[in-house]
Amino acid sequence: MSVRKLKPITPGQRFRVVNGFDAITTDKPEKSLLAPLKKSGGRNSQGKMTMRHRGGGHKRRYRIIDFKRDKQGEDATVVSIQYDPNRTAFIALVEYKDGEKRYVVAQNGMQVGQKIKSGAGAAPEIGNALPLSEIPLGTIISCIELRPGQGAIMARSAGTFAQLMAKDGKFVTIKLPSGETRMILATCLATIGAVSNSDHQLLVSGKAGRSRWLGRRPRTRPVAMNPVDHPMGGGEGRASGGHPRSRNGIPAKGFRTRSKTKDTNRYIIERRKK
């Protein structure tokens, strides 16, 4: 993984830091694993805007990712590592012996030609998916299920990873990227290794137009609004805006929004850091 700092031959390139894309091996996606992706512009089925600051952006096609890793006990060969416009992580195209091809989220260190496997009995090596009960303590893991058979929903973005801390009966304890420590059923699958593209956090867009290419429209600062538009608006001169809160008046920066009566609270051993 590497990043490149561009020479400022244009104003938009002055602070631009781009991905070196060293790990990428091809720029042609697998056609059989592409699906159309329709833009909503932040509107719901009634045409009403339910999410602000969305719209425009480059046309994309969705890559169908195998989050469930349900083809178990069979070796798959990594054919290529590819860029995915729909996520921060890179993806790997793998091919099974019967000729079936699938996309999986690529882990750091995954190489073309490497064999990966999923299911019970797989070796705890990078790219392999196996039940948490069979993973050695202290192992770095990613793409973790919360319920058996649900598919990976945790630690999926670029550079993220969790760590297996303890095993106790039918539960294991893992430390998540947020710092939260929680219990998960030992029958849930997880993939060995940290997610690829760990340099993603070092990138600098360089100009406002790049956000528009990603489908993000301009956002007005709440302190620049009027009182009728936002709780932090108004005031004489350059008022600070008061206590930080959302447009609906819900406090930000430290205010806990998780329900105290939520059933799964009993599985959380330590809350995430503020």
Write the pLDDT tens digit of every residue in 77-129: 999 999 999 999 999 999 999 999 999 999 999 999 999 999 999 999 999 99
Which structural domains are found in the chain, ordered by start? 3-39+51-201 (2.40.50.140)
Average pLDDT of the chain, as a whole number:
95
Number of H helices, E strands in the chain: 1, 15
Which has the closest alpha carbon to 33: 80, 72, 88?
80
pLDDT confidence tier of residue 155, bands split at 50, 70 and 90: very high
The pLDDT of residue 157 is above 70: yes
Is residue 166 within 8 A of residue 173, CB to CB? The reply is yes
Cβ of 118: how many Cβ atoms within 10 Å?
Answer: 23
Cα–Cα nearest to 217, from 43, 1, 95: 43
Dihedral sign computed on CA atoms, order 132, 135, 137, 143: negative
pLDDT of residue 247: 93
Q: How many Å apart are CA 71 and CA 227, to the nearest integer?
A: 56
pLDDT in tens, 216-266: 999 999 999 999 999 999 999 988 888 999 999 999 998 988 999 999 999
Checking if the pLDDT of 1 tops 70, the result is no
Q: What is the pLDDT of residue 254?
A: 87
| pLDDT tens digits, one per residue of 14-69 | 999 999 999 999 999 999 999 999 999 999 999 999 999 999 999 999 999 999 99
pLDDT > 90? residue 2:
no
Q: For strands 129-131 and 189-192, give the pairing.
A: antiparallel
- Considering only CA atoms, which of 18, 103, 95, 108 is closest in space to residue 62? 103
